[in-house]
Chain A
């Protein structure tokens, strides 16, 4: 098994693969990322064959690591990069105990963080990736890490997972094509292409930000903005957190503090109008 080690914010990964291809793609995608602190990874992720002959004969990729989920559906080797990313996700989701995890993306401006959260397909990754190219610093995609004691957001600027129509949108505005991973066609989430955050986001991955605003975008509908009650905010944030329950009282304390932040939901038909709504909300709260 071959290995790659990288650090993304506070998480040090050791990624193992039975095949050279996915690891080479990971190396390209994460070019310029530092090594784990003191060379000691905090999470180990692996992709390996479901049976030993599946390494060569109709290869099937199983998602493994320190923490495993039963009944994870194996993937085709041509989607090996996605499998490796999912293996990293799994380790964060099940193994991370230092931070409260939110299923969200986040960007920063002036030291304050905007958290974009919502279900898969809500457009949070696309909006965060766009903002990350327009004067904001990309802090995170997929997982937002909150320190339950200080309530500061620790950047976790891993590659952004662009899906379907978001791929050509970002290809148009990102000049450096080497930041894109290979186009993965017909994955369970449609076409998918990873985008490495820009150099500033990677260089400042240890610069924390204070959460200031939580927005719930909803892509594909007529523009509409609405408030969100505290009870609904709590339920939505806890539903989207993979480690709220294992964190126990620390998680509860952090979540109740997050509930005091300004928050809203909005629907938008396209990225341009979504960005416009985001900027208006940010102006309201001085972000």
Chain B
């Protein structure tokens, strides 16, 4: 579990895997859901398939909804 304090809203978030890993990868190099899914699977040493892309897409949308990421 990772704790994250969001300065603009003052909200504290509890992030479970893979959200901290996704944020870390986006901080290194911003990218879209498809590429992020590939990079995440590579980092976690798991095969990248359609399910992984779906999960990453949905989690990204959740992160965007609470203001932790935004689309360029």
Interface residue ranges, A against B (CB under 8 Å): 230-231, 234-235, 238, 245, 248-249, 252, 256
Contacts and interface: CB of A to CB of B under 8 A. Distances in A.
Contacts of A235: 14
Interface stretch (B3-11, B30-38, B53-61, B64-72): B3-11
A252 B14 contact: no
Contacts, number: 14
Interface in B3-24: 3, 5, 7, 10, 12, 14
B1 A245 contact: no
Interface of B: 1, 3, 5, 7, 10, 12, 14
Given A245-B10, A248-B10, A234 B5 contact: no
B14 A249 contact: no
Contact of B3 (A245, A248, A256): A256
13 contacts: A230-B1, A231-B1, A231-B14, A234-B3, A235-B14, A238-B12, A245-B10, A248-B10, A249-B5, A249-B7, A252-B5, A252-B12, A256-B3
Contacts of A238: 12
Nearest to B14: A231
Contacts of A256: 3
A230 B14 CA distance: 12
Contacts of B10: 245, 248-249
Contacts of A249: 5, 7, 10
Ranked 3 nearest A-B pairs via Cβ: A252-B5, A231-B1, A248-B10
A230 B2 CA distance: 10
B13 to A, nearest CB: 11
A41 B7 CA distance: 32
Nearest to B4: A252
A256 B14 CA distance: 13
Contacts of A248: 10
Contacts of B14: 231, 235
Given A230-B1, A234-B3, 12 more contacts: A231-B1, A231-B14, A235-B14, A238-B12, A245-B10, A248-B10, A249-B5, A249-B7, A249-B10, A252-B5, A252-B12, A256-B3
Nearest to A259: B3
Nearest to A255: B12
A197 to B, nearest CB: 34
A248 B7 CA distance: 8
Nearest to A256: B3
Nearest to B16: A231
A233 to B, nearest CB: 11
Nearest to A232: B1
